[in-house]
Amino acid sequence: MNVKKDAWKVITFCCITSLILSYVAIGLFCLVEKGGEMARILQSPLQLFSFVREAQGQLQTILYSIPFVSIGSMLYWQRKSFLQEKYEDASEYAVHGEGKFEGMKNLINGKVFSKNNQYKKDPLETFQMARGTIVGKVPKKKQVLIMEKDTEVDNANVLIIGSPGSGKGQAYVYPNLINNTEETIICSDPKGELYRDTHLIKQDQGYRVYLVDFVDFINCHRYNPLDNVKDDIDARAVANIIAKNAAEGNRDFWTKSALSFLSAIILYVKNEYKDKANMTHVIDFAVRAGREAEYFEDVIASLTEEHPAYHLFRLASLSAGSTKMGIMSTMAQQIGIFALRKVAGLTETSDFLFEDLQKHKSIVYVKIPMDENPFEQLTAMFFDQLIEVFYKIAVRSSNNKVPIRSIFLFDEFSNIGTIEKYPKVLSTCRGLDIVMMTVVQDFGQLEDKKRYGHEMTRSIINNHDTILFLRTKDKKTAEYLSGIADDTTAKVKTSSIQHGSKNTSKSVSEQYVKRRLIPVGDLIRIKKNDCYLFVSGHDPVKLEKAWQFQVFHDFMKNYETKYRPIMLKKGMISKEEAVPLEPIDETGNAVQQQKKEKEDNPLAKDFAVFAPVLTTTAATEKEENTSESEHVEENKEENLVSTEETTDTNSPPSSKKSSKPSESKENEEREEEDEDEDIMFAYEETSDMESQQRDVESSEPKFGELPI
């Protein structure tokens, strides 16, 4: 806004006029209270002054406020007379462009975003809002934009762009973890805060809670990548993920021969060890094959054509020629992270199956490193396999949808690693009832050559029908979004004064100019509380951020101490705490908890957000139960970790402080460490991380133990 040159004249006129009107209004009040003639009252200002001074209570407040209300009203009424916008919207003329902002009524119509969108001061009343994805807050109103599952937007995928400190967590991730209550949710958790702050809430909302920790590798559920390998296609997929997420200097190693060899080894190990197969067995095979040429040749010679790995080994051997021994040796280095003690412990077996996540609504918190991720091969494999399993379940179903609608919430998406099929997943997941929410700092993270490159990044962006912009410092990202908003036509008024010998003339002209609806500078310098929303098929809209502490007030902060007891008392959740995670016994198998009877509580039904879950089987057993003899055999094998632990009902499986081991146990551990050192000879060059891991092995807590 600009102030016109002669604005003081209009402002002076407004002030004088409002004072006159105020004087008359006070005279009317005096006439009503004391009677008399209006003309005489107005002619006696001292009488009116005394009347105002002697007034009591509410009347005095009204009399004092009359001049201020009058002045404010006059200035607002005449604002266009002394204020002039630098640019006036003229998009309807479309001379240079027709970009404009979307009206809220066109969005909050029950089709795009829900009409049931008002939050209350009491968080428990706020949960009467519609369930769905919260993308922002209506400016100056207690309303949020909620995208329900039956929205008319083509796909519900959301791309969130926000630099560090822009509110990605507080204004998007947290509100949507709280407000989505019927879907299975898979959420990356870079800081571990999401699990800490929301797992009890999700448990009380009826969720089975899982935690997979790719940072500390303890106190969590375990995940074995080979449990999801059923055939040669799955084996090849695992090999491709490992190759795609290899360290940048090591990618040249992964030729077709190397990929074929790794696929063949995975299939061979899977066939030999069955349900006990894990990546440690794959490394052992590669190390031994790299050492002993006879061993490798004997294995290949012993395979029959019916063996799943037979043809892969033959093809790999033909293409590799005399270099296959070198390939085996180098391969052990490339997959060396799976030999690290903590990683081996986590991937030794699975405490839950991905199929279980479609049998009961569940939430999986996946803790990943905040900055550089040295375990990209593992984290990318986890999400890739999980998506693949969900796709297979959907394809096998009668309606080609997953049984339980699912949300993948990828906070700090670039830290996960490269999921090569992600662009295709985004374009097809809508039909399977799967939603992808991708959180990035800027497009540069996606375009990085070790990630997706320029073309795949374009595909990723285009397959999100909703883009929520919080903030960026990247000019290229800002230019792209400014371009989406398009150009608009603006009207500019200019005035000129010409001085002649006899008189002075003033002229005002109007021009229509082209400008960006949302300039690049506005995006880079956006205020902390503001954001922009781009929805496919609609014009952009400027919103306020939907901070969780504003929408849900202190609900998350004081849930356990304040709101949970109230909800228990009212019967909104179960009176008995559900156990989200199952304890793990000494052999590493999940211990099934007995199922409890669910109370039939009408209050809980009305308050559908917190439907109690009394089934406590979070970690399910594998389909084929191992026999007693198999357990004995398993105990004889080399165990990389000990998982003796007790589990708290509200936290991941953990053990109490371990007692001091005996001398014999120490000797056994020392022997195991010596064996590890012998195995690790082939990949000592991989990274300093491995040597550091061995140096601190003796002082680190074992898998399943709480750190001291």
CA angle (617, 618, 624) in 5-degree steps: 75
Q: What is the pTM assigned to this prediction? A: 0.72
Place of tokens 């402080």: 657
pLDDT computed for residue 587 by the predictor? 38
Which backbone phi and psi does 271 adopt, to 5 degrees?
-70, -35
**Which helix or strand (DSSP H or E) is residue 83 part of?**
strand 83-84
Q: How far is CA 198 from the centre of its chain?
A: 13
Between CA 203 and CA 581 the distance in angstroms is: 10
The pLDDT of residue 91 is 55
User: Taking CA 651 as the corner, what is the angle to CA 647 and CA 656, rounded to the nearest 5 degrees?
Assistant: 40
- At residue 168, the pLDDT reads 95
Question: DSSP alpha helices (H): ranges in 35-56?
Answer: 38-42, 45-54
d(Cα 142, Cα 119) in Å, to the nearest integer? 6
Q: What pLDDT score was predicted for residue 531?
A: 96
CA distance 262 to 677: 23
CA 546 – CA 174 distance, rounded (Å): 10
Q: Strand (E) positions, 167-252?
A: 184-189, 208-213
CA distances from 279 to 225, 229, 238, 265, 273 (A): 8, 12, 11, 10, 11
pLDDT of residue 636: 40
Map tokens 């491709």 to a residue.
240
Residue 604 pLDDT: 42
* CB contact burial 558-592 (16+ within 10 A = b; e otherwise): ebeeebbeebbeebbbbeebbbbbbbbeeebbbee
How far is residue 553's CA from residue 84's CA, in Å, rounded to a whole number? 39
pLDDT digits (tens, 9 = 90+) for 233-252: 999 999 889 888 877 655 56
- The reported pLDDT for the residue numbered 118 is 96
Which positions of the chain have pLDDT values less than 70? 1-6, 80-97, 248-255, 318-325, 490-514, 574-708
CB atoms within 10 A of CB 497: 9
Write down the CATH number for the domain with range 150-217+353-540. 3.40.50.300
Q: Is 321 left (phi over 0), alpha (psi -120 to 50) or beta?
A: left
Instruction: Give the residue range(s) of CATH 3.40.50.300 domains in the chain.
Output: 150-217+353-540
591 vs 653: CA distance, rounded Å:
11
